[in-house]
Structure 1
Amino acid sequence: MTQLETPPAAPKLGRKRDHTRDAEILDAALDVLADTGYAGMTVDMVAARAKAGKATLYRRWASKSELVIDAVACMKQIDPDFSKLPDTGSLRGDLVAMIKAPSIAEGERKMRVFAGVMSMISDAPELTESIHAAIVEPRMAVNRFLLQRAIDRGEIRADADVETLALISQAMVSYRVLMLREPVTRDFLVSVIDGVIIPAVRR
């Protein structure tokens, strides 16, 4: 390079994307999805709920569908701590002890999120796996553990169909929330335990 030549300018770097608020934005997207469904949801609504600029969302997610797919995939996937589950000495006591107001509210929210993405599943089949991992499996794992423990202590039939029984309460909650549009209450959950699960496992 001669003294007359100008050295090439360093390429300008684009503005770094700030991912520190991703979790808040995705959680806000789930709230809006649960409230309005996918068709009624807009990126503006999510931005307002998350108190973030719309441009911030579009820099991170090119479309509403991408935002929803990410939000569902990042839903809290809680691995239950079996050592902290109630042990009342009976299956009915254990199942009833699991009924708590916060878990009922969170379960309803998850069902509304599930309803919101139903129209997208044919176009985004990866949502099915995310929904199962975040909504279905954690509760099934708890029910599976409680049922197997009841079998091990000789309380219920050894040939009880654990996999099917572990899914019954969630299936009935889904139908109540999505089809009947009725709230999930403690009385309803106890009626499922006493009217369906316990009769099915009696010795």
Structure 2
Amino acid sequence: MTPPRGEQREDAVLRAALELLAEIGYGSLTMDAVAARAKASKATIYRRWSGKAELVIAAIERHTATADQPAPDTGTLRGELLALLTSMRDRLTGESAALVLGLLTAMRDDPALAAAVRARLIGVKRDAFAPALRRAAERGEITTTPDHELIAEVASALLFSRLFVTGEPLDDAFLDRLADAVILPLVHGATT
């Protein structure tokens, strides 16, 4: 069954906003450009969103809602950590990376936009490790549940640094090192 025309139009507008954010950044994004890319009128866009910030926030929320997936249950803490790190890497090297880069400068100048980006793109990552750590505690692999927010922040920072700062590969070998040399010691350091 095809979604109603209004939903199709909204999807097209939000997709256009995300594409333009990734291509030209927040500062260069205009409602005219979104309308042209979505093949919609500006009036259609303004009936739903009052301005660029509201449109971008809605696009980010839609994007992250469809990208969010629960932590996989692989049966081992290391397996789950690697699955989470792989998912984070794949999202970061995909469209999310371009979105974050397109928004970094704008976040400094627009507090509402910054709050929405932090809540949806960064906040989601902070909770990503909690289910895996809880399951590891239930299986007896760890005796307490460590600070999942700190673990997520460290993992995100190292992935971000590799991708945008050092340019070193984000291959499976690096993910293995990250899990074994950084994340697992953090987890086990909290349980001793």
Q: TM-score, normalised by structure 2?
A: 0.71
Query: Hey, what does 2:115 align to over in structure 1?
Result: 129
- Equivalent in the alignment of 1:71: 59
Structure 2 unaligned regions, length at least 5: none
Alpha-carbon displacement from aligned partner over 1:35-64 (angstroms, at most 9, x marks no partner): 332234444543454344566546655654
Return the offset for 1:195. 2.2
User: Is 1:150 the equivalent of 2:136?
Assistant: yes
Residue matched to 2:92: 107
Q: How does 1:1-203 map to 2 (within 5 A)?
A: 19-20=6-7, 21-53=9-41, 56-57=44-45, 64-77=52-65, 80-81=69-70, 85-88=72-75, 90-98=76-84, 104-108=89-93, 109-156=95-142, 158=144, 160-180=146-166, 184-202=170-188
SS of residue in 2 equivalent to 1:39: coil
CA distance in 1, matches of 2:145, 2:154: 17
TM-score by length of 1: 0.68
Q: Counterparts of 1:80 and 1:105 in 2: how far apart (Å)?
A: 13
Separation of aligned partners in 2, 1:49 and 1:25: 8
Please give the alpha-carbon distance, in whole angstroms, between the structure 2 residues aligned to 1:185 and 1:22. Answer: 36
C-alpha change, 1:162 and 1:98, in structure 2 (3 Å) is: closer
SS of equivalent to 1:164: helix
- Identity in percent: 35
Pair 1:182–1:38, CA change in 2 (3 A)? farther
Structure number with the higher helix fraction is: 2
Aligned-pair distance for 1:197?
Answer: 0.5
Question: How far 1:81 sits from its partner (Å)?
Answer: 4.3
How far 1:30 moved relative to its partner? 1.1
Q: Is the 8 A contact 1:37 1:116 kept in 2?
A: yes
Which residue identity is paired with 2:176? V
Shift of 1:77: 2.5
CA contact (8 A) 1:92 1:198 kept: yes
Q: Distance in 2 between matches of 1:70 and 1:181?
A: 31
Question: How far off is 1:161 after superposition?
Answer: 3.2
Q: Secondary structure at the match of 2:114?
A: helix
Deviation of 1:196 after TM superposition, in Å, equals: 0.9
In the alignment, the residues of structure 1 paired with residue 86 and residue 150 of structure 2 have an alpha-carbon distance, to the nearest angstrom, of 23
* CA distances 1:75-108 after superposition (whole Å, capped 9, x unpaired): 33266546xx2232x211122234557x644333
Indicate the residue corresponding to 1:7 in structure 2: none
Cα distance, 1:182 vs. partner? 6.1
Question: Cα RMSD over matched residues?
Answer: 3.3
